[in-house]
Amino acid sequence: MSIMWKYLDKRSAAVAAIKDYASMRFIINSTDEEIKKAFEKIAVPATPKWDGMPRVHDPKAGENRMLNGIEEIDILKERYRQAMEYMDWFKPAWAQLSDEDKYVLEAFYGSEKNYGCSAAYYVADYLNIEPSTAYKRKSRALERLTVLLFGKG
């Protein structure tokens, strides 16, 4: 194990992983469509625009358009690869959590509309506990997820 893992703030990294889940899922679901659009931009020849403005002739315009399209596709594929790598790392740990732990972590970190006290009240109401106990449940659930993601240490 690398020495840097000893000094990594694993709790903050676990929170960031929870917050990134929706983005990674969106990347995985939308990449195919984005790649299709990029291929269409490459395949369709450019048409002249008749707006009355003088044009400059660029003999390499078609080549540049194709290179830009290929570069865009490469970036999309790399982004997709990273999202799949994230899911392969995150999902097994998430699956090990109880439904209650998942709910608590989603309420505090996964939802865009709930922050701080309001998340604690939602959790307290859902689990029929006091808001102060909701914060304790959040800490325990986050600790479990941190151990599952990064190990003890």
Instruction: Examine the pLDDT at 94 and tell me if it is beyond 90.
Output: yes
Which two structure tokens, joined as six digits, stand for 129?
């506990």
pLDDT tens digits, one per residue of 112-133:
655 666 888 888 888 899 988 9
**CA 88 to each of CA 42, 76, 94, 134, 153: distance values in angstroms, whole numbers, following the listed order:** 32, 18, 11, 29, 22
The number of domains in the chain is 1
Question: Does residue 56 surpass a pLDDT of 80?
Answer: no
pLDDT at 2 over 60: no
Look up the domain containing 63 and give its range: 4-150
Q: Is the pLDDT assigned to residue 18 strictly greater than 60?
A: yes
